[in-house]
Amino acid sequence: MVEEERACGNGAIERALTVFLAGTECPFTCSFCDLWRFTLDGPTPAGALPFQLERVLDEIPPPLPDRLKLYNASNFFDRRAVPTEDLPRLAKLAEPFAGVTVESHASTIGPMTVEFAELLSGKLEVAVGLETIHPVAIANLNKRLELDRFDRAAEFLAEHGFDLRVFVLLGAPFIAPAEAIEWTVRTVEYAAARGAERIAVIPVRGGNGEMERLQALGHFVPPALTELERALERCLAVEGGSVVTADLWDVERLPACEACRAARVARLARVNLTGIAEPSVRCPQCA
């Protein structure tokens, strides 16, 4: 998938190539996650990831995008997910890109992160799911992430000159719907204060079975498209210089008025690129 993103600092628009790699399943069975559907039952075979990446790059017409994102539905710095012997080949394939983004749980960030970064010709960015700082929700997401562990990971990345991208949830289970936007904003502020260059607000979606179970128990209410709009509007004012965007992956699944859905999504896409708030969409059918 090739998309455009707003860069931190100068606000320039860069093109990013996201490659979804198939590898081993993540050991952290987060309640909101459905990425396990696209993983392998056992460890990632050596050579499998470079093989997949090489095939994708062979199909991308020049000029190549500025950034390469390697998303493996797991943790890049887990040796079961990414065999150490594959790092040099992956880095070699990533040579044409000025920036390389990988995703990993905060607890896996360490020596392997430095090892991979030293092989790269471009700058490393690590995407970490913070999700929420709500004390009840974070304890019940099954993510096994304490805030001090996230803080240490953010400090480690900053000390080594690596960029930090953070994922924040909107509508996380165990948060009252009336408080959902407020806790999203607080979590974005928390990430920004710890040096996150980019922060993506991701609305929680059902479909993995567990979210439907939590919804039946009254612990989860799917966020609406208008809530994502309001959350992004408030997050644009967060101090710290972070680029905050709304994640529009599967946005058509969010509850919304069908008469104005397309206009609202288009507005979010524009705000993602400019960082400038626009007047709200007016719709007589959902006013």
13-20 vs 2-6, strand pairing mode? antiparallel
Low-confidence ranges of the chain (pLDDT < 50): none
Tens of pLDDT, residue by residue over 19-34, are: 999 999 888 888 788 7
The CA distance from 100 to 21, in Å, is 14
| CATH superfamily for domain 2-274 | Aldolase class I (3.20.20.70)
Q: Do residues 125 and 86 make contact, with C-beta atoms less than 8 angstroms apart?
A: no
Tens of pLDDT, residue by residue over 214-237, are: 999 999 999 999 999 999 999 998
The CA distance from 152 to 173, in Å, is 25
Residue closest to 231 by CA, chosen among 285, 272, 173: 272
Going by C-beta distance under 8 Å and a sequence separation of 6 or more, which residues neighbour residue 156?
109, 110, 113
pLDDT for the residue 287 = 64
- The pTM score is 0.95
Q: Residue 25, class by beta-carbon neighbours within 10 Å (0-12 exposed, 13-18 middle, 19+ buried)?
A: buried
pLDDT for the residue 270 = 97
H helix runs in the chain, sequence order: 48-59, 87-93, 111-119, 135-140, 147-159, 180-193, 210-216, 225-235, 261-274
What DSSP state is assigned to residue 169? E
Residue closest to 157 by CA, chosen among 119, 94, 93, 102: 102
Residue closest to 166 by CA, chosen among 133, 192, 186: 192
Q: Where are the domains of the chain?
A: 2-274
Residue 257 corresponds to which tokens in the numbers above? 């008025």
pLDDT for the residue 83 = 97
Residue closest to 190 by CA, chosen among 199, 202, 178, 181: 199
Q: Do residues 49 and 90 make contact, with C-beta atoms less than 8 angstroms apart?
A: yes
The CA distance from 70 to 221, in Å, is 31
